[in-house]
Structure 1
Amino acid sequence: MKNIISNILKGGLPILCLGMTVTSCSDFLDRPPLDAISPGSYYTTADQLGTFPINYYTSIFPNNSGWWAGVATFDNGTDNQAARSGNTGMFLQDQWKVPTAGGIGMNAIRNVNKFINETEAKIAAGKITGSSDLINQYMGEAYFIRAMLYYDKLQTYGDFPISLTELNIDNDLVEANKRQPRNLVARQILSDMDKAIDKLQVNFASKVRINKNAALAMKSRMALYEATFEKYHRGTGRVPGDANWPGKNKEWNKNFTINQDDEVNFFLDQAIDAAKKVCDAVPLTTQNNHVMNPGTVGNFNGWNPYYDMFASPDLSKYPEVLLWRQFNSNLTPSLAHLTSNKLRGGAATGWTRGLVESFLMKNGLPIYASGSGYHGDTTVDLTKTDRDERLQLFVFGESNDLDIDQKSIDLINKQRVKEGKPTITKLLFDAATLFATDQASRDVTGYRQRKFYNYNPDMQLGQTFSDVDGQIIIRVEEAMLNYIEASYLRTGSLDATATGYWTALRARAGITAPISTTIAATDMTKEADVNRPSYDWAAFSAGQPVDATLYSIRRERRSEFAGEGLRNDDLIRWASLDQVKNYQIEGVNFWDQIYQNPSFVNDKGVSLIIADGGAKATMSAKELTKYIRPYQIQKTNNILYNGYTFYQAHYLSPFSYQEMQLCSPDGTAENSNLYQNIYWPVEANGEAIK
């Protein structure tokens, strides 16, 4: 046991997992604390403290696991990326309903509160032995974890009860579950983050454990989220101080006051400060050498350092990676994933036409601008030609290598010789698997993501979890973009620091033109044209177009983090979904040329393309558009055939009907301290009102 704990503390083992359960107002009663291990009886040394926070890592961060492509699917359900089944919960009215029962998930917060309070008391009394640096480190992790747990509640519900002590049978649990205004919840989150930042070490355990720079970057995310949410959702009832804010008539809020502008500026200032500190400490050093494809067979890694940053087992060597999850297939059970294996096939996902068209040309111009040099989209290769190199690197085109393993190529050639076909030297991507019988191996849009794909065949074994590439959790590029956005919103202009960060990001992507060139060429009448099928949702906030500079900042963020799972949170905080009505997700231009690919004919000479809209259809009809529409392939029994439409209630989640009753002073949901979020009904199984 000592050796196991020692390895965890040194970062020698991958992050472990502790499942989290949900609770209700009554669930606090008669529960053994901390799974029967009390901080008072166990946590007496620095090493023992370190075993507590590690259990929450897979709860507070996305986890790359399971029989799917994991991290390469985290943008699914947005205008960036499409899964096979679509995002029915968010974009249909009758699929997301008020739960009949279910708690708000306070168990983890309760446990962390108990750990913090009891341990801080023991530290003050001198009852914790060991290195003071380690004691501070692990307490810093605990404050970080509590901030993350509350941040999840803030994003999910908005206003939320704030409890910093362990609740027990002697507490008035109904009283304790009074929702507090979201700005106060956010201020509490930042307070915990400040405590964490003060205690955490700069570079600890090879960055597989929470550290000071990662916490600074995360603080900038949290502060920017709240600033922009309060800015763009103002007047909707989702922001404290609004005339229709549901918390305004609650007795405990009778003395609550807020200056909404000052609150937005406070959070912007917090984001700016935290982002600059980490960006100044960790500049971009991992460069793109502008090589877009592996050069030789067997050259699995090392052909482009920037590409490798997303497909490497050891991310500690990349300064930009501030926090990452380590995997190890030699452990029992194996801690590995299937990302590379699934990306080798279609992975039942795909980037969208909207995302692909939003990438700039290398000359800094949007594809529609005069003189852009855009080559069209009749093939994926042409779509990528002379474009932002993040698009070139991270989307498979027809001429991109798919397999450069000699053993695999030899096996393929053996079969090709039998069939009388010429041999190959490398296996090219050639065409998406749009018609695979195995639905899990299908490409949904034709734009297959290459980000996170490791060419090493050892990472691609499908019979077992074999991919041990590290998972990026936080990287400094986000802090750079947080600074750019927050400082522009705060001052209305781009300062030298923001310009420097932005120029560095663009240069690494192969874009050398001045930022001003891009902004001047950005036509918001095109970007915010809802009749243009591939328009960018982020061209809007609260149903209105944003200015060209702010949109360009958002587009840069979209390009930098494509496929990394930040898109949904961005769209929500920007209130960028109001105008989404009957929006059709689209993929590649299929019907001009791609449909002729020989791989779309089976071994009996029969075309795999059926585009009649019937129950056996495999492709959307040419009469609709030349672009793949994955949710308009079949007309019958297809609830997404008319596209995505957003409902205002869906910006926040509803509380369950039973939970509102349990947390009510008179037992009625209508008078609950957990008052329902706006546009959600106070009834079980109720649908969004608006």
Structure 2
Amino acid sequence: MKHIISNILKGGLPILCLGMTVTSCNDFLDRPPLDQVPPSSYYLTADQLGTFPINYYTSIFPNNSGWWAGVATFDDGTDNQAARGGNTSMFLQDQWKVPTSGGIGMNNIRNVNKFINENEPKIAEGKVSGDANLITQYMGEAYFIRAMLYYDKLQAYGDFPILLTELKVEDDLVTPNKRQPRNLVARQILSDMDKAIEKLQVDFAKKVRINKYAALAMKSRIALYEATFEKYHRGTGRVPGDANWPGKNKEWNKSFTINQDDEVNFFLDQAIDAAKKVCDAVPLKTKNSHVMNPSIVGLYNGWNAYYDMFASPDLSKYPEVLLWRQFNSDINVAHLTSNKLRGGAATGWTRGLVESFLMKNGLPIYAASSGYNGDTTIDMVKKDRDERLQLFLFGESDVLGIDQKSIDLVNEKRPAGTAPIDKIKFNVAGLFATDQACRDVTGYRQRKFYNYDPAMQLGQTFSDVDGQIIIRVEEAMLNYIEASYLRKGSLDATATGYWTALRERAGITAPISTTIAATDMTKEADVNRPSYDWAAFSAGKPVDATLYSIRRERRSEFAGEGLRNDDLIRWASLDQVKNYQVEGINFWDQTYQNPSFVNDKGVSLIIADGGDKATMSSKDISKYIHPYQIQKNNNILYNGYTFYQAHYLYPFSYQEMQLCSPDGTAENSNLYQNINWPVEANGEALK
């Protein structure tokens, strides 16, 4: 058993000796292998220290590169956004199973432990030369990275072993793998984050490297995640102290005690404190010009700074952006987001998300005097709505292209006598594109992250070098609003101020109280209402109108940015999801008549008979697109999304449970299985 685990651990620490000069091939060949270089011979300068943490950025932050729309798909598989194949693992019982084999991914944690434990003493002893501020900065990054690596494990597994030293091959490799209560894991993460915050610089490397304010914002995210997870999952066996918590009978937990209310409040207080520190230091400065489209040929940027914040190569100039990823096509570090969004990206926003945005007067669309214009077209859906919806969702009359070359190409193909166009309009989604990778799924195509510059839209090569936002201050603002409301039971002046600023930038000038008073939870929490908001619930019960309004604000602000799934899990907002049908645009009232849905031979592309060649869901099902009910025989999600309780946490593999067991049996493992998952290879969720 030890031999097997030892082989897993032999991955070792990556060693980057940048700045080392090699005088001859013989000298180089005479050097000992890198995995045998003693610790005293590397990481001796500030620059060398700096090469270590940068290697782990791709491990702790989502990556935008690849032959897809990248960041514009990060909400896929939720009630916000739908991918072509749907989220089968989360919402079907037989698709996500206990793995037969596979580890829990400790290599990166081991490497960071080794880096911290070997270099902290060297720094204290003055053995690392260079700028002291840089030395401190890079060690701060290492603590941040360890915190994030453990945060990933906390989200996936809950209870988890806490290992802060490097395990050696000759060590006992079973005993250290005892799962610790998740609240203790979260406290350790916050401890590491505090060390990082203490060491990190405020303004460093144009915010493409981890800095103090980014760490504060991330700390608020982690603390709020744990507070709300423990609050809403209490009693399920997923929270330490529950009567059915699977860790309660383990020998090392016999002296463990917890006051669950106190733990929730501790994490809420941590979230409040961290969020306020960064929010007060970084106010909203990027303005929404309230211009919804570019109007001058060749003027791709500059018509709305708020829009540009999500579609610019240099995000360092936006104060709200606390940390971002930079791209450079010269070194083949680029992506395809704008290209995919121009032609369709095998994804789409849902009717549920779109209908959740408020009117500009602060009212939900169902309110009697809201002024909602209906959904016969997307333009009508967007009219007089929250300007985040207007800016970041394509409607028929929105500009798709404003470069002269594309305009000329279109005009060349227009029939003789037809007035030339001066800009290319979106017109309609590519619902019937032959290329499945370019087919719009719901008809609601996201415009957030779309750069109008044609140089960013080349499909043959990775050409989009727009920066990717990793974290922005708006999240810290919403973290404060939510945490303070849960802690105090009311909105304090600080929360109201942050919330008002977010609403005003979105073009909503009505008081927050107007929105809350008009929010009808009998409608919001009606599971029989198509496309209801999952976040209207926690643990199967409706939340109050104020809390729901906070969650709705978060949904509107971060639509399409990849935060939705984590929010739904921490809020326990999936319990009530049963046979839920994802919906898209209103197709069958008017959109189906669009001329582009007829091919060059005059044959309609619309086949809606439910057969194996069907291309659209039947109007007998709904006038709204049901992307998973197009072909009855070819989609295992035809009956909709149904959630299973086990899926709130990941299962441990059967082999890993055996390897971390004192007697070799999975049943007695130190990595006890998560509740509602069986202790058997290939087993399905029990509940």
| TM-score grouping bracket, smaller chain normalisation | over 0.9
What secondary structure sits across from 1:474 in the alignment? strand
Aligned to 1:4: none
One-letter code aligned to 2:58: T
> Distance between the aligned counterparts of 1:38 and 1:444, measured in 2?
55
Q: How many Å apart are 1:581 and its aligned residue?
A: 0.1
Q: Report the alpha carbon displacement of residue 27 of structure 1 after superposing the two structures with TM.
A: 3.7
1:591-670 equivalence runs, <5 A = 591-670=588-667
Residue 408 (structure 1) shift: 1.1
* Paired AA for residue 396 in structure 2: E
Q: Deviations over 1:582-607 (max 9, x none)?
A: 00000000001111111111111111
Question: What SS does structure 1 have at the residue aligned with 2:136?
Answer: helix
Does the aligned pair in 1 maintain the 2:202–2:211 contact within 8 Å? yes
Alignment of structure 1 residues 80-479 onto 2, 5 Å: 80-331=80-331, 334-417=332-415, 421-479=418-476
| C-alpha displacement of 1:370 | 1.2
* Post-superposition CA distance 1:34-80 (Å, at most 9, x none): 46266432101111100000000011000101000000000000000
Contact 2:83 2:441 in 1 (8 A): yes
Q: What letter is aligned with 1:91?
A: F
Give the letter aligned to residue 617 of structure 2: S
CA shift, 1:33, in A, is 4.0
Question: Does the 8 A contact of 1:232 with 1:542 survive in 2?
Answer: yes
Q: In 2, are the aligned partners of 1:25 and 1:174 still within 8 Å (CA)?
A: no
- Give 1:223 deviation, angstroms: 0.2
Pair 1:543–1:285, CA change in 2 (3 A): same
Name the count of aligned residue pairs: 665
CA apart distance, 1:130: 1.1
Name the residue aligned to 2:24. Answer: none
Tell me the amino acid that sits aligned with residue 159 of structure 1.
Answer: D
Check the 8 A contact 2:11/2:107 in 1, yes or no.
Answer: no
Residue type at the aligned position of 1:146: R
Whole-angstrom CA distance in 2 between matches of 1:41 and 1:254: 45
Match in the other structure for 1:509: 506
Question: Mapping of 1:41-80 within 5 angstroms?
Answer: 41-80=41-80
The aligned counterpart of 1:529 is 526
Q: Which segments of 5 or more consecutive residues in structure 1 lack a partner in the other structure?
A: 1-22
Q: Give the letter aligned to residue 405 of structure 1.
A: D
Name the amino acid aligned to 2:141: E
The 1:411–1:637 alpha-carbon spacing in structure 2 relative to 1, beyond 3 Å, is: closer
- Confirm or deny: 8 A CA contact 1:28 1:168 kept in the other structure: no
Secondary structure of the corresponding residue to residue 606 of structure 2: coil
Secondary structure of the corresponding residue to residue 174 of structure 2: helix
Instruction: Give CA deviations for 1:631-665 in whole Å, capped at 9, x if unaligned.
Output: 00010132100000000000000000000000000
Cα deviation 1:97-138 (Å, max 9, x = unaligned): 000000000000000000001100101111111111111100
Name the structure 1 match of 2:28. Answer: none
Contact map agreement 1:99 1:656 (CA 8 A) in 2: yes
Cα distance in 2 for partners of 1:668, 1:489 equals 43
Residue of structure 2 aligned with 1:570, choices 567, 570, 574: 567
Q: Do the aligned partners of 1:42 and 1:48 also contact (CA within 8 Å) in 2?
A: yes
Shift of 1:32: 4.1
Encode CA deviations 1:329-379: one digit per residue, 9 max, x unaligned: 011xx0000000000011000000000000000000000001000000000
- Could you give the per-residue CA deviations for residues 239-275 of structure 1, whole angstroms, max 9, x where no partner exists? 0000000000000001000000000000000000000
State the distance in 2 between where 1:438 and 1:501 align.
44
Q: C-alpha separation between the residues in 2 aligned to 1:153 and 1:30?
A: 21
Which residue identity is paired with 2:289? N
Structure-2 separation of matches of 1:118 and 1:163: 15
1:24 and 1:104 in contact (8 A); partners too? no
Q: Distance in 2 between matches of 1:290 and 1:416?
A: 32
1:451 and 1:30 mapped to 2: Cα distance? 43
Is the contact made by 2:12 and 2:111 (CA closer than 8 Å) also made in structure 1? Answer: no
Partners of 1:92 and 1:300 in 2: how far apart? 43
- CA shift, 1:29, in A, is 4.9
For structure 2, the residue ranges without an aligned partner over 5 or more in a row are 16-34
Alignment partners' CA distance in 2, 1:510 and 1:421: 37
Structure-2 separation of matches of 1:38 and 1:362: 64
Q: Which runs of 4+ in 1 moved over 2 A?
A: 23-41, 419-423
1:18 is aligned to none
Counterpart code for 1:631: Y
Matching of residue 558 in structure 1 with residue 576 in structure 2: no
Query: Residues of 2 paired with 1:531 and 1:252: CA distance?
Result: 46
Distance 1:352 1:29 in 2: 44
Give, in whole Å, the separation in 1 of the partners of 2:132 and 2:268: 33
In the other structure, the counterpart of 1:676 is 673
Relative to structure 1, the CA distance from residue 38 to residue 450 in structure 2 (aligned partners, 3 Å threshold; closer, same or farther) is farther
2-side partners of 1:63 and 1:80: how far apart?
20
Which residue type is aligned with residue 41 of structure 1?
S
Q: CA deviation at 1:420?
A: 6.3
Counterpart Cα distance in 1 of 2:386 and 2:123: 52
1:588 aligns with 2:585: yes
Question: Structure 2 counterpart of 1:356, which letter?
Answer: V
Paired with 1:40 and 1:274, the residues of 2 have a C-alpha distance of: 37
**Relative to 1, partners in 2 of residues 1:414 and 1:674: Cα closer, same or farther, differing over 3 Å?**
same
Secondary structure of the equivalent of 2:330?
A: coil
2:135 maps to a residue whose letter is: I
Output one character per residue of 1:485-527: Cα deviation in whole Å (capped at 9) or x when no partner.
0000000000000000000000000000000000000000000
Taking the aligned partners of 2:42 and 2:678, their CA distance within structure 1 comes to 46
Is the CA contact 1:328–1:336 (under 8 Å) kept in the aligned structure 2? yes
1:346 aligned partner, one-letter code: G
User: Would you say the 8 A contact 1:24–1:105 is kept in 2?
Assistant: no
The residue aligned with 2:20 is: none
Classify 1:230/1:24 alpha carbon distance in 2 versus 1 (closer, same or farther; 3 Å). farther
The 2-side partners of 1:66 and 1:32 are apart by: 28
Contact 2:141 2:200 in 1 (8 A): yes
| Aligned residue identity for 1:46 | A
| Cα displacement (A) at 1:289 | 0.7
| Counterparts of 1:102 and 1:228, CA distance in 2 | 30
Q: What CA RMSD, in Å, does the superposition of the two structures yield over aligned residues?
A: 1.1
Letter in 2 for 1:123: I
Counting aligned pairs with the same residue, the percent is 85
Deviation string 1:216-245 (CA, Å, 9 cap, x unpaired) is 000000000000000000000000000000
CA distance in 2 between partners of 1:559 and 1:539 (Å): 14
Q: Secondary structure at the match of 2:82?
A: strand
Aligned to 1:495: 492
On the 8 A contact 1:25/1:663 being kept in 2, the answer is no
CA contact (8 A) 2:6 2:169 kept: no
What are the within-5 Å matches in structure 2 for residues 6-17 of structure 1?
A: none
1:192-211 Cα shifts (integer Å, max 9, x gaps): 00000000000100000000
The residue aligned with 1:10 is none
